[in-house]
Structure formats: structure tokens, C-alpha cells
Amino acid sequence: MCPRIVTDEDRQQRDRELLDTALELIQQDNLTSLSMDKLAANVPYSKGTVYNHFCSKEDLLLGLCNCGMEIVADLFDRAAGIQGSGRDHVFALTYAYLLYALLYRDQFFLHVQSKTPSLYEKGSQERLERNLQLEERLLGHVLQAVEQAITEGNLQLKPGWDSMQVAFHLWASAFGAIAVASIKSQSPGPMRVQFKREVFNQMALILDGLGWKPSTSAWKACPVLQQLETIYQSELEALEKQGISLSIPATCSQGENA
């Protein structure tokens, strides 16, 4: 139809088209059932052309992962816009990340896989770089919240620590809690804990451990939750359609160890 004139917009647009179709296929079935042939069959291009955009299946997965990280970046951007303390912003980021994990579970776990040799060894240079960029951008939001708390005077770094370390701990802790919550709430076995609620409790524990003031109980009353339910209204509605509600923080058991 239109060869030779693909070098710019066209290419980007078809990239998106392919990724969007792939995402649809994932949502219809699941990630493991996605195949390059299936993608090619559901798109007005042939397999060869698909391989012109993604050098391997792993590269496609990397593309989907990056797609997801862009969604998170957008959620984080909105979280950064709320009115509130550094601690409020940590809460907002956690909320956003949990929202993402519940809405896009496959892509959430792709984020881990993208760091694994089996993926990144077969991804294109271009997409790997984008992956690092996006990671940087996400971590930047966390760092910003940490530094806000420091300038507010609510957080004093312990000797030998820097903000990056703090950001790392916040990230790792949120990831762990959300991963376990996301897994446990959809797998067989005993369900002894309200996992989604515990995500926020865990962040509170970390913050308390860091000596990050004010203490946890502030979350209950503060108007951040209402702000969040406003800025994430469409995402929350999408979640409700899937039968999942996220009315956790209001009933969050609080750790009042001032």
C-alpha cells in the first residue's frame, strides 16, 4: 500500500496499532496465549511486517511492558499533582501503583520479567533504552516525594543514608506487598489477610521505621483519599466493572506508634 514512506509517523503509529491489538488479545485471553502469529492474524499486516517492528516475541513483551510503565508514569504524574505532604504523595503513589497492578496484572509482572536475561537479551536496543528511561521517570516521582518530606522537615535521613536508598526501600516494599496481594487474591489457598488493605499498612510500617513524620493515623483523616478518588475516577470505575473495589484505605487499620 504505502512502502518507502514509513520512516517517521507511520512507523510510530503502526507500533501503537500492533501494541494495542496485542493488549486486546491479552485482555481477551491471557499473556501466555499471545503469539506472534495470532497478533499478525489480528492486524492488517503480515507476520514479516510485524517482525519489522518487533525483532522477537521478547521485544514485543518489552514493548507491552513499556506501554504499562507509561500508564504508571501517567498515574504518577497525576499523583504528583495532588495537594499534600510528602507522606501524602507516597500514599498517592502507592495507591496509583496498586491501581495499576489490579488493572493490568500481566503488565505489572512484565515489569519484573523485563529485568530478566531471557527478556532483555532478546529485546531491541531502542526498547531497552526506553525501558530504562521510564524506570528513571518512575523512580524520580518517588525521589521527589522523599525530598519533599526532607525539605518539609518531616524526614531526617539517618547517617549514611541518602534519598535514593529511601526511594529504593519504598519501591521494593510497595512492589513486594502489591505482588503478594495481587497473587494471593487470585490464587487458591487460605485467605487470612485483607491483602489490598495491607499494602498501605506495609508502607506505613516502612515510613514509621524511617522516622518519617507525621505518624500513620494522619492518613485516615486527610483529604488525600478524596482527591485520589477524583483523579483516578475512570480507573476506579474500570476496576469496579471487573468486580474489584478499592475502598480500602478508609477502613485501613492504623499503626499509631508515635
Partner DNA sequence: TTTTTTCTTGACGGTGCGTCAATATTGGCC
Partner DNA sequence: GGCCAATATTGACGCACCGTCAAGAAAAAA
DSSP code of 253? P
Stretch that binds a copy of itself, among 178-186, 218-226, 228-236, 242-250 (CB under 8 A): 178-186
b/e string for 188-199 if b means 16 or more Cβ within 10 A? eeeeeeebbbbb
49 in contact with DNA (CB under 7 A): yes
The answer to the question of residue 189 lying near a copy of itself (CB under 8 A) is yes
Binding-site member from 17, 23, 31, 56 for DNA (CB under 7 A): 56
* Distance from C-alpha of 208 to C-alpha of 205, rounded to nearest angstrom: 5
Q: Is 193 helix (H, G, I), strand (E, B) or coil?
A: coil
Taking CB under 8 A as the binding criterion, the range among 11-19, 28-36, 47-55, 240-248 that sits at the site for a copy of itself is 28-36
Which option in DNA, a copy of itself, none does residue 35 bind, with CB closer than 5 to 8 A by kind? DNA
- In whole angstroms, give the CA distance from residue 66 to residue 127: 8
Rounded Cα gap, residues 33 and 185, in angstroms: 22
Instruction: Give which of DNA, a copy of itself, none residue 153 binds (C-beta under 5 to 8 Å, depending on kind).
Output: none
What is the sign of the dihedral through the CA atoms of 105, 107, 112 and 116? positive
Among 17, 51, 218, 229, interactor with DNA by CB under 7 A: 51
User: Which listed option, DNA, a copy of itself, none, makes contact with residue 245 (CB within 5 to 8 Å by class)?
Assistant: none
Residue 230 in the binding site for a copy of itself (CB under 8 A): no
